């Protein structure tokens, strides 16, 4: 009789325990397999990075620029203009190698030095300016644009012409176009000059709705950085300060444009107040542009100057990127006595932070490197920052004081912003330069203390606590701070503020009444700051460099060194991939055939293809790894000015 498998006649027997050595063997095999998988993953990842680096270096090697005689240098303003020499990301490098479009970032000094070289370059017969600026973070500020404008005005002394061509210019674009000998606007284009505005967002109602509590402490009634979290609108003090500042900045901007275009300033201010939008013909009639043209008409003008290029194009031109690359290949910073320029750009944070932020550890490291360089005879701190962490600002200032004690001149050049913590790191310099458009001051400090107990309770989340001291929970996020704890934090901020006032009073040689009247967290333009003694001179970075060299006694023969230095393509690739720079330098020495041979062999063994989908894959990886910019002061105390205008 067949036994029913679902109803066996004999009860099932319990499984026999496997011998102990079998379990040990399986565990050992699992560990070995895991190790092998991890090793293979690492090898494949390194191989992929190696292939990427070879591919990019090969593309850079194949694109050595060739510049024809009698060429126009084409400066496309579709860029972000920053102070700090930018570090290229792997995505940007790969995109460039694959011919992908992206918005480039140029540093002020790099762009200026390129224009200075073009002035005496016999192959360059003029400059064409086109495109529209793309401000990001704290880039393309008017002080940065003033540096560019100054270089273009200097270029005109060579009697080489400058042309500008635009379609829908912004106020920033127009500011640069005013230097052109011939400023063209496309006949279908338009000009929008609505003025400046600030539009802060307020979260108090939303936070109350969702049960998020906030307690704000501050010193300085104009320190408005806390208001977005505590109010529904601007306070009277904040509105007064911002209105005065914007009015001054707008008047200065219109005055600069009117002077360059030989127009009446008051008449232009009245016209723009009544009417912000102009057609191309109306912009020409107003005197802001010379002619409304088609693109072909503009090309014909340049063709008369240069003739056709070797490929039959309408006029000979060299791209800004190509010309800058050639400049970097044939020039070196030189040797001998030097003026160092150290950059503090972006929100001031503790640690190294991101390249677009002013990481305290990185800035201190670069200041120290400049101080220890025996060729450096003076140091300039270029500041373009609204401030940030109070403790990070203090550590940067400590390093600047060490430099002064060593006897090196310390000069500050203020860019678009040098406010709050940005002013804190500027105040002790031997001399402080600001641009009329610089937003500075904001001498004050604040703290924001959030508590999420009510919001968490709505989700069924509760808190409990165990503590050793009465104030162990002073930075807890569960409950509001007690009155005593708020008083402790307020006392700490007041002490920091009083010490700050003492430093400003000593370094700026101001009286008690003067300093307290111009502090209070209030922001000022560079012109106002000069009037009140917060800065010494109105000028740009090159004014500060000339003064630094003169003070150090090296004005006859010196070089300028940037900290950080501009990276070569090979160095940028190695940095982006996290590899030793020496590896990239060795690879770049290989011939194109050797690079392709290595690439071919690795592709066969790894079945890897450098297709355009790689860019999308890398973009996805970087998107996952990208983190939010967060303030990270250990005591939640910030000297930060949130004010920005457009």
Residue 628 phi/psi, 5° resolution? -70, 145
Q: Quick one: which of 198, 189, 169 has its CA closest to 257?
A: 169
Q: Is 60 exceeded by the pLDDT of residue 53?
A: no
Predicted local confidence at residue 26, as pLDDT: 60
Q: Is 80 exceeded by the pLDDT of residue 100?
A: no
Predicted local confidence at residue 46, as pLDDT: 52
The predicted-structure confidence for 585-594, as pLDDT tens digits, reads as follows: 555 555 545 5
Provide CB contacts within 8 A for 193, sequence distance 6+: 171, 174, 272, 276, 277, 278
Q: Is 70 exceeded by the pLDDT of residue 272?
A: yes
- Model confidence at 610, in pLDDT bands (50, 70, 90)? very low
Label each residue of 398-446 as H, E or C: HHHHHHHHHCCCEEEEEEEEEECHHHHCCCCCCEEEECCCCEEECCCEE
Predicted local confidence at residue 545, as pLDDT: 97
Q: b or e along 49-72 (b: 16 or more beta carbons within 10 Å of the residue's beta carbon)?
A: bbbbbbbbbbbbbeeeeebeeebb
Strand residues in 167-254 grouped as ranges (E): 182-186, 190-192, 213-219
Predicted local confidence at residue 22, as pLDDT: 58
Note the Cα 343 to chain centre separation in Å.
10
- Between 39-43, 270-274, 444-448, the lowest mean confidence (pLDDT) is in 39-43
Distance CA 615, CA 597 (A): 22
Beta bridge partner(s), residue 218: 446
3 state DSSP class of 533: coil
Beta bridge partner(s), residue 74: 128, 319
Predicted local confidence at residue 542, as pLDDT: 95
The architecture in CATH of the region 333-444+499-565 reads Alpha-Beta Complex (3.90)
Catalytic, out of 224, 385, 389, 420? 420
- Domain 71-194+276-329 is in which class? alpha beta
Helix axes 20-61, 90-97, angle to 10 degrees: 50
Number of other CB atoms surrounding residue 501 within 10 Å: 17
Predicted local confidence at residue 637, as pLDDT: 61
Helices (H), 62-89: none
- According to the per-residue pLDDT averaged within each range, which of 8-17, 221-230, 529-538 is highest? 529-538
The predicted-structure confidence for 324-349, as pLDDT tens digits, reads as follows: 888 877 777 778 899 999 999 999 99
| Numbered ranges of CATH 3.40.1750.10 in the chain | 197-259+445-481
Residue indicated by tokens 């080489």: 160
Q: Is 50 exceeded by the pLDDT of residue 527?
A: yes
CA distances from 596 to 100, 586, 602, 610, 618 (A): 21, 15, 10, 12, 22
The predicted-structure confidence for 125-156, as pLDDT tens digits, reads as follows: 999 999 999 998 889 999 999 999 999 999 99
What is the percentage of the chain residues whose pLDDT exceeds 90?
A: 51
User: Contact at 8 Å (CB) between 402 and 372?
Assistant: no
Instruction: Please give the CATH topology (third level) of the domain spanning 197-259+445-481.
Output: peptide peptidase (sppa) fold (3.40.1750)
Catalytic, out of 223, 316, 377, 481? 223
| Numbered ranges of CATH 3.90.226.10 in the chain | 71-194+276-329, 333-444+499-565
CA distances from 11 to 5, 431, 544 (A): 11, 96, 95
Helix axes 320-330, 108-120, angle to 10 degrees: 80
More confident call, 355 vs 233: 233
- Model confidence at 608, in pLDDT bands (50, 70, 90)? very low
Helix axes 108-120, 541-552, angle to 10 degrees: 80
Q: Is 80 exceeded by the pLDDT of residue 9?
A: no
3 state DSSP class of 557: coil
The predicted-structure confidence for 449-463, as pLDDT tens digits, reads as follows: 888 888 888 888 888
Q: Is 50 exceeded by the pLDDT of residue 487?
A: yes
More confident call, 562 vs 570: 562
- Residue 223 appears among annotated catalytic residues: yes
* Average pLDDT of span 303-328: 84
Predicted local confidence at residue 196, as pLDDT: 92
Q: What is the mean pLDDT of the chain?
A: 82
- Model confidence at 223, in pLDDT bands (50, 70, 90)? confident
Q: Is 50 exceeded by the pLDDT of residue 616?
A: no
* Average pLDDT of span 271-283: 95
Q: In 3-state terms, the chain is what percent helix, strand and coil (to 5)?
A: 45, 15, 35
* Average pLDDT of span 393-404: 95
Q: Is 70 exceeded by the pLDDT of residue 482?
A: yes
Q: Is 80 exceeded by the pLDDT of residue 83?
A: yes
Q: Is 70 exceeded by the pLDDT of residue 62?
A: no
Predicted local confidence at residue 270, as pLDDT: 95
Q: Is 60 exceeded by the pLDDT of residue 477?
A: yes
Distance CA 418, CA 416 (A): 7
Q: Is 80 exceeded by the pLDDT of residue 539?
A: yes
Residue 597 phi/psi, 5° resolution? -65, -45
């Amino acid at each position: 009789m067949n036994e029913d498998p679902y109803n066996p006649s004999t009860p099932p027997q319990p499984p026999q325990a496997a011998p102990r050595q079998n379990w040990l063997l399986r565990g050992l095999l699992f560990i070995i397999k895991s190790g092998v998988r991890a090793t293979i993953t690492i090898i494949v990842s390194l191989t992929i990075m190696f292939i990427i680096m070879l591919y990019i270096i090969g593309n850079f090697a194949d694109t050595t620029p060739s510049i024809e005689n009698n060429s126009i240098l084409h400066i496309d303003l579709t860029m972000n203009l920053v102070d700090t020499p930018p570090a290229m990301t792997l995505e940007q490098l790969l995109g460039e190698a694959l011919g992908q479009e992206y918005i480039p970032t140029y540093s002020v000094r790099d762009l200026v030095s390129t224009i200075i070289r073009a002035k005496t370059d016999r192959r360059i017969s003029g400059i064409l300016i086109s495109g529209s600026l793309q401000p990001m973070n704290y880039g393309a500020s008017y002080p940065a644009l003033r540096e560019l404008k100054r270089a273009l005005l200097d270029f005109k002394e060579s009697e080489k012409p400058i042309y500008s061509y635009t379609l829908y210019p912004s106020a920033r674009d127009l500011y640069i176009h005013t230097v052109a000998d011939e400023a063209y606007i496309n006949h279908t284009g338009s000009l929008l000059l609505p003025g400046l505005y600030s539009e802060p967002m307020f979260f108090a109602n939303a936070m109350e709705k969702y049960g998020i509590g906030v307690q704000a402490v501050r010193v300085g009634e104009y320190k408005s950085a806390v208001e977005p979290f505590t109010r529904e609108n601007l306070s009277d003090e904040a509105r007064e300060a911002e209105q005065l500042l914007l009015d001054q900045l707008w008047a200065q901007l219109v005055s600069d444009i009117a002077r360059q275009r030989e127009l009446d300033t008051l008449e232009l201010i009245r016209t723009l107040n009544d009417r912000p939008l102009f057609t191309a013909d109306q912009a020409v009639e107003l005197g802001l542009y010379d002619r409304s043209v088609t693109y072909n008409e503009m090309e014909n003008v340049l063709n008369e100057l240069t003739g056709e290029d070797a490929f039959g194009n309408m006029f000979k031109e060299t791209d800004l990127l190509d010309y800058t690359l050639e400049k970097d290949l044939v020039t070196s910073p030189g040797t001998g006595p030097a003026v160092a320029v150290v950059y503090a750009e972006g929100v001031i944070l503790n640690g190294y932070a991101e390249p677009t932020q002013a990481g305290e550890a990185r800035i201190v490291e670069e200041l120290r490197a400049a101080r220890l360089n025996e060729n450096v005879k003076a140091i300039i701190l270029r500041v373009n920052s609204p401030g940030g962490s109070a403790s990070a600002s203090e550590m940067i200032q400590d390093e600047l004081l060490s430099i002064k004690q060593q006897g090196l001149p310390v000069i500050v050049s203020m860019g678009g912003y040098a406010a709050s913590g940005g002013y804190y790191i500027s105040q002790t310099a031997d001399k402080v330069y600001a641009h009329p458009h610089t937003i500075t001051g904001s001498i004050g400090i604040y703290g924001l203390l959030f508590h999420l107990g009510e919001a968490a309770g709505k989700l069924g989340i509760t808190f409990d606590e165990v503590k050793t001291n009465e104030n162990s929970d002073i930075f807890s996020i569960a409950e509001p701070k007690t009155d005593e704890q708020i008083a402790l934090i307020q006392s700490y901020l007041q002490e920091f503020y009083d010490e700050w006032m003492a430093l400003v009073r000593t370094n700026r040689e101001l009286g008690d009444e003067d300093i307290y009247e111009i502090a209070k967290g209030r922001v000022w333009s560079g012109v106002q700051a000069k009037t009140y003694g917060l800065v010494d001179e109105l000028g740009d970075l090159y004014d500060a460099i000339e003064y630094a060299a003169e003070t150090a006694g090296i004005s006859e023969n010196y070089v300028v060194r940037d900290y950080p230095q501009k990276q070569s393509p090979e160095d940028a690739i190695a940095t982006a991939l996290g590899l030793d720079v020496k590896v990239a330098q060795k690879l770049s020495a290989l011939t194109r055939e050797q690079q392709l041979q290595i690439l071919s062999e690795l592709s066969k063994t790894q079945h890897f293809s450098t297709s355009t989908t790689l860019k999308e894959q890398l973009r996805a990886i970087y998107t996952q790894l990208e983190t939010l910019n967060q303030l990270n002061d250990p005591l939640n105390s910030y000297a930060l000015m949130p004010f920005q205008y457009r």
